[in-house]
Amino acid sequence: MADLQAILNDIHAELSPRLGEGRVADYIPHLAHIDPQKFGMSLITVDGAVHRVGDSDEPFSIQSISKVFTLTMALGKHGETTWNRVGREPSGSAFNSIVQLENEGGKPRNPFINAGAIAVSDLVLAGHTPREAIGEIVRFVRYLADDDTIVIDPAVARSEEATGFRNAALANFMRAFGKLTHPVDHVLGVYFHHCALAMTCTQLAHAGLFLAAGGTNPLTGLSVVSSQRARRINALMLTCGHYDGSGEFAYRVGLPGKSGVGGGILAVAPGKAAVTVWSPGLNHNGNSLLGSLALEMLAARTGWSVFGPA
């Protein structure tokens, strides 16, 4: 086994001169003020070893990474009928595009673009008030991370609600096609709040560890999903987790991953570890610029790509 802490230290040292590159997600006002110089990275192996570097214990807005957890919940509640409402194909379009949605009858391509995650939020809302559904999401993420301190940042949620006009358009569009069953404002309330979860790199790596360990959290021994479902969620992360940059991420990194416009990326090395990196500056696809590069360096130095060693 490679010296994982040394690898993280080296990656941090090599990227330090480039901290601040990329553009923060300034279209969400609260995120516009995040220090672009921040960089954190945490890696937790399936046997429980924790390695971290930089700002790994500072909470940040996980944004679209939360879509992995709401998809897991929707599959738990609705099983394979989930796919009647959302597809499993890469979009090839921007994460907030409405054009594809119109051409395809209001059914989003996958659960990780905004329209798809809004449809998943509608599924999670089934049988609940919005407040209950949001509480259920928070409890589930706390369960995964084994950490009851995880909370939603209300300032980020309010910021998204105040400026989320395009997401409102997507939701209304799907409602017009009969693809949402709850009132649009209720669905958007759930969506905006789960995207506003604040977590550290270490908490997020812990929460994603079940995907590296066949559906069971190896640190608690608690089963989350079946091994088949964990494998399939990983497959969707690999093919769809970085919007229209998913192919590039698979080519360069070769690990299932999910990014968020808060600058975080959760990556999974099946059978080995879960990794989170946070660097707020984004590339033109809306993925962390230095975070993607850090994971490329990690995969090359560990040989963890699912396609084989470098």
What size, in residues, is the chain? 310
143 tagged catalytic: no
From the list 120, 261, 268, 277, the catalytic residue is 261
Q: Are 264 and 247 in contact (CB under 8 A)?
A: no
For Cα atoms 248, 70, 212, give the angle at the middle one, nearest 5 degrees.
60
Which H/E stretch holds residue 67?
helix 66-78
Q: How many CB atoms lie within 10 A of CB 38?
A: 18
Amino acid identity, position 37: Q
Q: How far is CA 42 from CA 76, 102, 201, in A?
A: 28, 40, 5
Q: Which of 56, 64, 66, 305 is catalytic?
A: 64
Apex 254 CA angle, 7 and 194, nearest 5: 90
Rounded Cα distance, 113 and 22, in Å = 21
Is 64 marked active-site? yes
Torsion, CA 151, CA 97, CA 253, CA 191, rounded to 10 = 10
Kindly name the residue from 141, 243, 246, 272 that is annotated as catalytic. Answer: 243
Q: Is 27 a catalytic residue?
A: no
Catalytic residue among 91, 107, 124, 191: 191
The DSSP bridge partners found for residue 257 are: 267
Q: Which two tokens stand for residue 2?
A: 């490679």
Among candidate residues 144, 146, 145, the one with its CA nearest the CA of residue 223 = 144
Active site includes 67? yes
Residue 266's beta-bridge partner residues? 258, 276
Q: Are 249 and 293 in contact (CB under 8 A)?
A: no
- Catalytic residue (choose from 38, 67, 179, 258): 67
Residues that are catalytic:
64, 67, 191, 243, 261
